Amino acid sequence: MTEASNGVKNIESNTNQLSWKLGPRDFMLKNLKHVPWIIAGGSIGFILAFINIRYSTSIYKVQSSLLIQNEGRSSSSEDKFNELFMAPNAVNLTNEIQLLSSRPVIERVIKNMNFLVRYYNTGKVKTALVYPKAAFTFEMMESPHPEQRFGSQVIIKNENQFSLGKDPKLYNFGEEFMIDGNRVVLKRNIDAPLKSFASPIFIFEYAPASATVNYFLGGLKIVQSNDQGTILLLTFETENIDLGKEFLNSLMNVYDSLNIEDKNRISVNSLRFINTSLDTLQDQLNSLEGRIKNYRVNNDVFNETDQSKMYMESVNRTRSEVDQQDVKITMVDLLQQYINSKENRHELVPINMGIEEPALAAKITEYNKLQLERDNNLKTTTQENPLIRSFDSSLEKIRRDMSEALTNIKRGYAITRDKMVQQQNETTGKLRSMPGKTLELSNVNRREKILEDLYSFLLQKKLETSISSASIVSNSKIIEPALGYNSPIRPGKQKIYTLYVLLGLGIPVGLVALREILRDKVNNRIDVEKNTTAPILGEIGHSDDEETLVVLRNSRRFVAEQFRILRSNLKYMTVKKENPSIMVTSSFSGEGKSFVSINMGSVLALSGKKTVIMEMDIRKPKVMESLKMKRKMGITNYIIGRAAFKDIVMQVPGFDHLYVIPCGPIPPNPAELLLDPKLDELMEEVRKNFEVIIMDTAPVGLVSDAISLGKYADCTLFVIRMNHTFRKILRLVEDLYQERKLPGLSIILNDVKLEGGYYSGYYGGYGYYGGYGYGIESGYFEKPAKKKMVPIHKQVIRWWGKYF
């Protein structure tokens, strides 16, 4: 294997291995151009968060705790009574929570607090709820619709006068006036000086208790402190801490009073029930005493235990005899099935099966004897022997006799069993009647005992209930009165700042990501490597020069150095060729194909090789125009026989070894002209006179000229321009490379722009510029010519078209 082939493999391995890796540092540098937008988004988010917090109403948390006690009972009888008629012994905290947060309870709290009217003070930034001391108090004198909500803005002019909303009319405090059909009075609160408020502008709002419930329910939360305890934690979120404290304390007091009211009502109802029940029990006890006496006489019940024992012994004895008969009947059935079975026709019949019938036993003995004799005779004769047939006839007759005898025996056993069952049923009937009589008598006695116990118990509870009703206490206890926290829980500054800043940062990041998703053009080296396996020969950076020819003899510009690297890499692709022919093509116009052809020719000519650039794009030639050379006869003239070879070769001014063969007049049939045999003669002449041939062909993505010219080329340079070539073109490149439609295809990445201080990849697999002190601004390279200033409106149009 030669050194040249090793070099080619090294280029391909570097292309396939190194450029796939894009570390975090490279990724960050690549997107540094978007950092100002991200910072601006984060700053805007921070400002919006500040405005949100500044103009949002602060919400505070007020908390208290309430103990729900289990009322202990001293005895089991007392527990039963309370379960039936009083409050349950065990506390159901879920029910208590529902009670505390029910609308009727909250309405009662609102009325106790006199919170039917809410007062607000309007400040420069926001409006705040005023509680407990407002600048004035509201009194309803007369209202045709007390459930109707209404309110108004009040502007206090001085200590004695005020106005309503935009109405310039002045009212005196204490003076009656009408609002929405309601006659009301506002009185000045001298305990609240005006200077203690943000402004003299107030708002009052009247609402019935039923309409104000939702305001308190929205901020109220009641939870159990732990699973084993009976302590409830009450929290209320409000914009006014004093209001929250008053509400929770009033709620716990109302709950306490409701418990006492419920217990008083229960006590009254319990006493009424006890008195009624005592009268009923007295009548029932008198009736039961006479019923017990009559029952014993009428049912002849004297000693229930002895009578039941005698009947039970008789039933057990008869049941055992019935079981024995069932066993005998079963054995008769089994034996009869055995005798009648064809499979057992020549088998012996078992004896002593528990059937004690002499006639049957004699038949079985005779049958078995004949079977044995038959078996003995079969040892010396066959079954067709008359003697054997005689045995079979006798055995069949005895078998029928045994079957008939078994049927008669079974019938006799069944009759005996039926008589025993009848006797058993009669005895069982007598036995069953005893428990019924005994049970009925026991039920009557038990009911008498229950009534006596209940009568005594109710007498005792009547006394206890009368005493306890005079000393009822609630089963709840306030563990901790309402306590407010001065630090607001909403808005959460840290959470809002974090959310808004992340949102501000996320919007530009999302737009950048969306742009990356929607873009359909090649953006970097990785896009190329992911979509094609063709090797990348090198990269050419963006050039701001107005001149197409940037590679000059003493040029140290960054782009010129990249062409020199490209020349070094190209040696490995054409090392076996004596006069290499290099074809340059692209997918469509504007990708820098002619730019690459001209500068590749220049950099090869500067190395001392006699180089010619053939303007083979006879549809839209650009080489002569880019070199600013005048056109004359060219390739098309030579093919049609109107020019000699020496007439179409032109030397590029300023270069000793660089020549150009122009296109000549553009023909009407370019595709057919390139198939003319004269083109073969032209290529032979070119190979004889030049060391390196560069063919600038038409774009392969538009016409087939480049494929037709491929037979004259030793290698093909396919130009891909960043942010210009469509990604779908890479599939065309892959097809051309895999199917070898173009000889020695390799890719040149053109117009690679500097992003974050570095180019998009590894140049040619060997050099990495932008790091290690060799960047464009390091002084190692010649600075490019300054660009002309572009008007600001054109810059905006270009920026918008680039990013959106």
- Tens digits of per-residue pLDDT, 186-227? 999 988 998 889 899 999 999 988 888 988 998 999 998 888
- Pairwise pLDDT comparison (65 vs 632), residue with the higher score: 65
Angle between helix axes 386-468 and 304-340 (nearest 10 degrees) is 150
- Find out whether 184 and 148 touch, Cβ atoms under 8 Å: no
Contacts of 415 (CB under 8 A, 6+ apart): none
Using one digit for the tens of pLDDT, what is the confidence trace for 660-687?
999 989 888 888 888 888 999 999 999 9
Structure tokens at 506: 């996320």
Using one digit for the tens of pLDDT, what is the confidence trace for 479-525?
899 998 888 888 888 888 899 899 988 888 888 778 777 778 888 88
Report the alpha-carbon distance of residue 610 to residue 594 in Å, rounded.
Answer: 19
Going by their DSSP bridges, the two strands 127-130 and 536-541 should be labelled as unpaired
230-258: average pLDDT: 91
Structure tokens at 141: 């004198």
Please report, for the chain, the start and end positions of each structural domain, with discontinuous segments joined by +.
3-55+493-518, 117-207, 304-471, 525-803
Report the alpha-carbon distance of residue 654 to residue 606 in Å, rounded.
Answer: 11
Specify the pLDDT at position 758: 41
Using one digit for the tens of pLDDT, what is the confidence trace for 534-562?
999 999 988 877 788 888 887 778 888 88
Specify the pLDDT at position 300: 60
- Find out whether 551 and 595 touch, Cβ atoms under 8 Å: no
Report the alpha-carbon distance of residue 559 to residue 542 in Å, rounded.
Answer: 7
Specify the pLDDT at position 648: 92
> HEC string of 282-314?
HHHHHHHHHHHHHHHHHCCCCCHHHHHHHHHHH
Report the alpha-carbon distance of residue 272 to residue 291 in Å, rounded.
Answer: 30
State which amino acid sits at residue 636: T
State which amino acid sits at residue 734: E
Nearest to 374 by CA among 358, 362, 385, 363: 385
Comparing 109-113, 387-391, 602-606, the range with the smallest average pLDDT is 387-391
- Find out whether 20 and 529 touch, Cβ atoms under 8 Å: yes
pLDDT averaged over the chain? 80
Whether the predicted pLDDT of 143 surpasses 60: yes
Whole-angstrom CA distances from 715 to 124, 574, 688, 707, 804 are 78, 7, 18, 12, 38
Phi, psi torsion values for 151, nearest 5 degrees: -175, 180
Specify the pLDDT at position 138: 92
Going by their DSSP bridges, the two strands 658-661 and 611-615 should be labelled as parallel
Comparing 40-49, 439-448, 595-604, 773-782, the range with the smallest average pLDDT is 773-782
Report the alpha-carbon distance of residue 87 to residue 82 in Å, rounded.
Answer: 6
- Find out whether 93 and 222 touch, Cβ atoms under 8 Å: no
116-127: average pLDDT: 88
- Find out whether 173 and 185 touch, Cβ atoms under 8 Å: no
Regarding the domain delimited by 525-803, which CATH topology (the fold level of the hierarchy) does it fall under?
Answer: Rossmann fold (3.40.50)
Under the phi-then-psi rule, with left for phi > 0, alpha for psi from -120 to 50, and beta for the rest, what region is 505?
A: alpha
Using one digit for the tens of pLDDT, what is the confidence trace for 10-34?
334 433 433 344 455 655 666 677 7
Whole-angstrom CA distances from 644 to 31, 638, 649, 650, 804 are 56, 6, 9, 13, 53
Query: How far separated are the first and last CA of the chain, in Å rounded?
Result: 52
Specify the pLDDT at position 792: 60
Categorize the per-residue pLDDT at 791 as very low, low, confident or very high, splitting at 50, 70 and 90. Answer: low
Instruction: Tell me 149's DSSP state.
Output: -
Report the alpha-carbon distance of residue 544 to residue 555 in Å, rounded.
Answer: 15
Whole-angstrom CA distances from 222 to 93, 248, 266, 637 are 10, 11, 27, 99
- Find out whether 234 and 65 touch, Cβ atoms under 8 Å: yes
CA-only gyration radius of the chain, Å: 58
- Can you give the pTM of this predicted structure? 0.52
Comparing 73-82, 107-116, 692-701, the range with the smallest average pLDDT is 73-82
Contacts of 695 (CB under 8 A, 6+ apart): 581, 582, 583, 584, 597, 614, 616, 709, 712, 713
Which of helix, strand or coil describes residue 208? coil
